[in-house]
Amino acid sequence: MSKKESIGGYLSLELSNLNTLYHDNAYALNTGRNALEHILRCKNYKHVYIPFFTCEVILEPFIKTKTPYSFYHINNCFQPILGQIKSYDAILYTNYFGLMNDDIEKLSNRYSNLIIDNSQAFYDYPLRNNPTFYSPRKFFGISDGGFCYNAEEIPIEKYKIDFSYKRFLHLIKSIDTGKEDSYQEYLYNEDHLKNQKVKIMSALTRNILKSIHFENIKNKRNSNFNFLHENLKDYNLLTELIDYKSHHCPMVYPFMVENGTELRKYLINNKIYTAQYWSNVKDWTEPTSNEYIFTENIIHIPIDQRYNFKDLEIIQNLIYEYLRKTC
């Protein structure tokens, strides 16, 4: 896919060609939302049901493809509150935290047109023939990229190849100056990803992914998740849910308490930054809805490959400290 390289000249950035892309049989595209856009263009659904509990950027592909949609609620186990739908309609379901494999199996049996959002479940392979998409930058240090399966009606050769070199400044700068000093560049990149045309994954993103030790990272994340659950499960309102869920590798550890907004502020004040999924949900739903309550009260604790048990103990102890003060 790349043009022929010249011989000689200056040395390039050196990346180890250790692995495949992990999702080698998928279409490798430039963003997760564009992977969804590709699915919508392939399938031409008459109507798609979208969960209220999702990021607002998920709407971008629907707007670009002019695909009609409406929202549905989820129950306190993150399952859709939705009856039977018409055979030509589809339902989009999020693999929340990477913990919803069992639910996806059941939903696949129930709905013939199920689209699976595996943005939070990079290590989960697609189920049967369900169109499935991924956003690998939620798991690895890359600026863009996406994968999709089971949407081959439009050949990938139709798209141009993307270029990523202008999107990597925040990643490179953070190595020298830290994440806080490169946060504005990160926000710039987030904004730059909006309304991109569907393209083939760039050579830079592809080569970085191929240099990653996927299994090592998977093991590290699972180990961190299990460590946190062992130490926080007595305080976590989602413990019952987590205990019976199977998973391959979660994205975060979801920790839910009453008045989670105040705990999030407490952690931020102690330089523990946890993303809120998703602030737009509070504009879409009523304060009594499950989605609103989840948005307010779930703390998404990082478990990624940067951290070890010592780091997680800092977070754990801050949570203990906060709970002691508020009980």
CATH of the domain at 132: 3.40.640.10
Q: Is residue 169 part of a domain?
A: no
Q: Is residue 168 part of a domain?
A: no
Supply 41's token pair: 């263009």
Residue 117 predicted with pLDDT over 90:
yes
Q: Is residue 152 part of a domain?
A: yes
Residue 84 predicted with pLDDT over 90:
no
Alpha-carbon torsion (287, 292, 295, 298), positive or negative = positive
Which of 147, 180, 210 corresponds to the end of one domain?
Answer: 210
Residue 62 predicted with pLDDT over 80:
yes
Q: Max alpha carbon distance in the chain (Å)?
A: 67
Q: Would you state the pLDDT for residue 3?
A: 58
pLDDT band at 236 (very low <50, low <70, confident <90, very high): very high
- Cα–Cα dist 312/321, whole Å: 14
* Number of domains the chain contains: 2
Q: 122 and 218 in one domain?
A: no
Residue type at position 287:
P
The CATH number given to whatever domain includes residue 230 is 3.90.1150.10
pLDDT band at 127 (very low <50, low <70, confident <90, very high): confident
Q: Is residue 181 part of a domain?
A: no
Supply 30's token pair: 């430039």
Q: 159 and 33 in one domain?
A: yes
- H or E element in which residue 114 lies: strand 114-117
Q: Is residue 261 part of a domain?
A: yes
Q: 54 and 31 in one domain?
A: yes
Sheet holding 132-134, edge to edge: 27-29, 146-149, 132-134, 114-117, 90-94, 48-51, 69-74, 80-81
Q: Is residue 11 part of a domain?
A: no
Q: 205 and 240 in one domain?
A: no
pLDDT over 90 percentage in the chain: 82
Helix, strand, coil share of the chain (percent; to 5): 40, 15, 45
- Cα–Cα dist 49/148, whole Å: 19
Strand 90-94 versus strand 48-51 pairing type = parallel
Q: 277 and 156 in one domain?
A: no
Residue 235 predicted with pLDDT over 70:
yes
For 137-194, the pLDDT digits (tens) are: 999 999 999 999 999 999 999 999 999 999 989 999 998 998 889 889 988 888 889 9
Q: Is residue 239 part of a domain?
A: yes
Supply 297's token pair: 């009260």
- What is the 8-class DSSP label of residue 165? G
Q: Would you state the pLDDT for residue 4?
A: 64
DSSP 21-45: -S-TTSEEESBHHHHHHHHHHHH--
Supply 226's token pair: 């299990």
- Cα–Cα dist 54/39, whole Å: 18
- Cα–Cα dist 158/169, whole Å: 29
Average pLDDT, integer, range 102-115: 94
pLDDT band at 26 (very low <50, low <70, confident <90, very high): very high
The half-sphere exposure of 168 on its side-chain side, counting CA atoms within 13 A, is 14
The half-sphere exposure of 79 on its side-chain side, counting CA atoms within 13 A, is 13
Q: 204 and 63 in one domain?
A: yes
Q: 130 and 115 in one domain?
A: yes
Q: Would you state the pLDDT for residue 246?
A: 76
Q: Would you state the pLDDT for residue 263?
A: 97
Q: Is residue 4 part of a domain?
A: no
Residue 136 predicted with pLDDT over 60:
yes
Give me the domain span that covers residue 99: 27-163+200-210
Q: Which CA distances in Å does 69 have to 32, 38, 60, 252, 303? A: 19, 16, 12, 28, 34
For 237-291, the pLDDT digits (tens) are: 999 999 888 789 999 999 999 999 999 999 999 999 998 899 999 999 999 999 9
Q: 224 and 303 in one domain?
A: yes
Residue 17 predicted with pLDDT over 90:
no
Q: 205 and 231 in one domain?
A: no
Please provide the average confidence, as pLDDT, over all residues in the chain. 94
Q: 154 and 37 in one domain?
A: yes
pLDDT band at 5 (very low <50, low <70, confident <90, very high): low
- Cα–Cα dist 327/323, whole Å: 6
Q: 123 and 223 in one domain?
A: no
Q: Would you state the pLDDT for residue 244?
A: 80
Q: What pTM did the predictor assign? A: 0.94
Q: 269 and 205 in one domain?
A: no
Using DSSP's 3-state secondary structure scheme, residue 145 falls into strand
Of residues 13 and 235, more confidently modeled: 235
Q: Are residues 169 and 185 in contact, defined by beta-carbon separation less than 8 angstroms?
A: yes
Q: Where are the alpha helices (DSSP H) in the chain?
A: 32-43, 59-65, 101-110, 169-177, 183-192, 203-210, 214-232, 239-243, 260-269, 281-284, 290-297, 309-326
